[in-house]
Amino acid sequence: MIRSDIAFQKCISPACGATYEVGEALVACPRCGDLLDVAYDWNRARPPSSLEGFQQMWSQRHDPLRLSGVWRFLELLPFAKPSEVVTVGEGQTLLQQADLVAAYVGLQPGRLFLQYEGMNPSGSFKDNGMTAAFTHARQIGATRAACASTGNTSASLAMYCSVTRLMKGVIFIGSGKISYGKLSQALDFGALTVQIAGDFDDAMARVKEVSRDLGIYLVNSVNPFRLEGQKTIMYRVLEALRWEVPDWIVVPGGNLGNSSAFGKAFAELVELGLIRTAPRLAVINAAGADTLSELVQRRGVRWNGGAVDETPIAAYYQSLDQEQRKASTIASAIEINRPVNLRKCLRALEFCNGVVRHVTDQEILDAKAKVGAGGMGCEPASAASVAGARLLCDQGVIARGDRVVCILTGHQLKDPTATVAYHTTDQEQFNKTLGNRGVRRASFANRAVAVSNNLDEIVKAIRLYS
């Protein structure tokens, strides 16, 4: 088994705290069942003495380890040697100041930034984590990898399989729950795609059993190595802000891997003295998949230094089962009722003085239209961050002058069905895709204009509408 004298795995439960070698493939603590962190002995790891040094990496972009927006920060996730890293050039993402969207959110000009993680090779932030999981899988010699997915994890896994040829991918998806943009990627990349008669939460439960029984490497975000890669989203945000910590990071919450990774990134940067304080974290659920917001806002669940009161959590999950309530939202990437990283997210919320909110599908789609009209576009789940920022501004939690970064987790073209249905003039199409989700109107629709095939009519229409 491979060992590292710098990195190890550690149970997040302070009451347990068991540690394991990097060479083990684990998705839970064998002793107590809690989640695991990748942890480091920073005295041996020799972290950087300042963040500014990372800028110099840009002059070495011919080196794949410097080109990658994940691995140029290798010193902050030092569980692998440079020779072990698997990269396809992920993390070439962008932070954009978006004043039009800021006006919609209720922020002063220059205060809202959108972090475009949809620019990753497979079109979502998941590549940040997948490159780290593949690196670990290669370290331990895994030959098959599996995931349950609402779409983007499978697209990312399938892409890393097809490019690197290191592993064969097996993908579990719920039936009818995945957008065509994402499904088409998994099929095109050639992964084995298993469609389960159930939803994401069912697929997640089955894939855990299958990977345990068949010894397949699991790349869902219960895999602690994936979250190491996702920390770098925050490093790139800081880098784009010239290492000035913003006031707020706003992120959609599904399985809560991102929010957990962001909290860990900031906790480590503070521990290492590389930043003084963490930004506040806002995690945004969809109203139809609002477990985190229900537990934190309504039932008062907190990390509490690791002594989480599990009673209200168990009671809530039991009520979901009894009522056979399934997650339901147009934002399919966050259509999850049993977030696997719940406990890590609670820890992140405590460290970052975080808040949780939920937004309706109506608010998500309206925000998404604003992002499209005033930015580079995103998929529905991503727009939950912008809708959530707007809600928090409305409530006075975020101040108009705060510096706010919304994470746009996935590319605009991931779910064209939702976008076209929103902008359509065809009421039937609108109702079919959006109406049964409580979406009543397309507040910012940009309707296509129908004209006859006649020059005068076309000219007239352009004059009228432009």
Interface with ligand PLP in residues 23-82 (CB under 6 A): none
Residue 268 binds which entry of Zn ion, ligand PLP, none, with Cβ cut-offs from 5 to 8 Å by kind? none
SS3 151: coil
Q: What is the edge-to-edge ordering of all strands in the sheet holding 192-196?
A: 192-196, 168-174, 144-149, 217-218
The residue behind tokens 């009520």 is 319
Contact call for residue 258 and ligand PLP (CB under 6 A): yes
Q: Is 253 in the site for ligand PLP (CB under 6 A)?
A: yes
> From ligand PLP, Zn ion, none, which one binds at residue 124 (CB under 5 to 8 Å depending on kind)?
ligand PLP
User: How far is residue 429's CA from residue 241's CA, in Å, rounded to a whole number?
Assistant: 42
Q: Verify binding: residue 18, Zn ion, rule CB under 5 A.
A: yes
Shortest distance in whole angstroms from residue 404 CB to ligand PLP: 18
Judged by CB, which is closer to Zn ion: 32, or 462?
Answer: 32
Contact 166, 138 (CB under 8 A): yes
- Measured between alpha carbons, how far is 414 from 152 in angstroms, rounded to an integer? 9
From the list Zn ion, ligand PLP, none, which binds 410 (C-beta under 5 to 8 Å, kind-based)? Answer: ligand PLP
Strands 94-97 and 36-40, by their bridges, are: unpaired
Least separation, in Å, of the C-beta of 212 and Zn ion? 17
Query: Binding to ligand PLP by residue 364, rule CB under 6 A?
Result: no
Q: Is 256 in the site for ligand PLP (CB under 6 A)?
A: yes
User: Does 154 interact with ligand PLP (rule: CB under 6 A)?
Assistant: no
C-beta atoms surrounding 345 within 10 Å: 29
With CB under 6 A as the contact rule, the residue among 178, 196, 222, 381 that binds ligand PLP is 381
| Measured distance CA(49)–CA(291) in Å, rounded | 39
Q: Which is nearer to Zn ion, 16 or 187 (CB)?
A: 16
Residue 379 in the binding site for ligand PLP (CB under 6 A): yes
Binder among 7, 25, 27, 29 for Zn ion (CB under 5 A) = 29
Which residues inside 212-251 make contact with ligand PLP, applying CB under 6 A? 221
Neighbours of 30 (CB within 10 A): 11
- Does 222 help bind Zn ion (rule: CB under 5 A)? no
Told to check if 152 binds ligand PLP by CB under 6 A, we report yes
> What minimum distance in Å lies between the beta carbon of 414 and ligand PLP?
7
Asked if residue 409 binds ligand PLP (CB under 6 A), the reply is: yes
> What string of DSSP letters covers 309-328?
--HHHHHHHHHHHHTT----
Number of residues that bind ligand PLP (CB under 6 A): 18
Count residues binding Zn ion (CB under 5 A).
8
User: Residue 34, interface with Zn ion (CB under 5 A)?
Assistant: yes
Residue 29 C-beta: closest distance to Zn ion, Å: 3
- Answer yes or no: are the C-beta atoms of 99 and 109 closer than 8 Å: yes
State the amino acid at position 371 in one-letter form. V
Question: Minimal distance in Å, beta carbon 340 to ligand PLP?
Answer: 8
Q: Which does 121 bind (CB under 5 to 8 A by kind): ligand PLP, Zn ion, none?
A: none
**Separation of alpha carbons 223 and 80, rounded Å:** 15
Residue 130: Cβ within 10 Å count: 36
Task: Tell me, residue by residue from 92 to 131, as one string, x for binding to ligand PLP by CB under 6 A and - for no binding.
Answer: --------------------------------x-x-----
Contact 122, 188 (CB under 8 A): no
The item of Zn ion, ligand PLP, none sharing an interface with residue 132, based on CB under 5 to 8 Å by kind, is: none
> Is the sign of the CA dihedral 234, 248, 363, 377 positive or negative?
negative
Q: Which of 78, 106, 169, 257 binds ligand PLP (CB under 6 A)?
A: 257
Q: Site residues for ligand PLP, window 317-356 (CB under 6 A)?
A: 333-334
Q: Which two tokens stand for residue 119?
A: 């620019």
- Cα separation of 382 and 391, whole Å? 15
**Strand 280-286's sheet: what is its strand order?**
94-97, 112-116, 404-408, 248-252, 280-286, 355-359
Q: Which does 31 bind (CB under 5 to 8 A by kind): ligand PLP, Zn ion, none?
A: Zn ion
410 CB-near residues (< 8 Å, 6+ apart): 117, 118, 123, 124, 125, 152, 333, 378, 379, 381, 382
37 touches Zn ion (CB under 5 A): no
Segment contacting ligand PLP (CB under 6 A): 231-239, 321-329, 350-358, 376-384? 376-384
Q: Within 13 Å and on the Cβ side, how many CA atoms surround 458? A: 4
* Sole binder of Zn ion in the list 6, 7, 11, 216 (CB under 5 A): 11
* Contacts with Zn ion, residue ranges (CB under 5 A): 11, 13, 16, 18, 29, 31-32, 34
Where on the chain is the footprint of ligand PLP (CB under 6 A)?
124, 126, 152, 221, 252-258, 333-334, 379, 381-382, 409-410
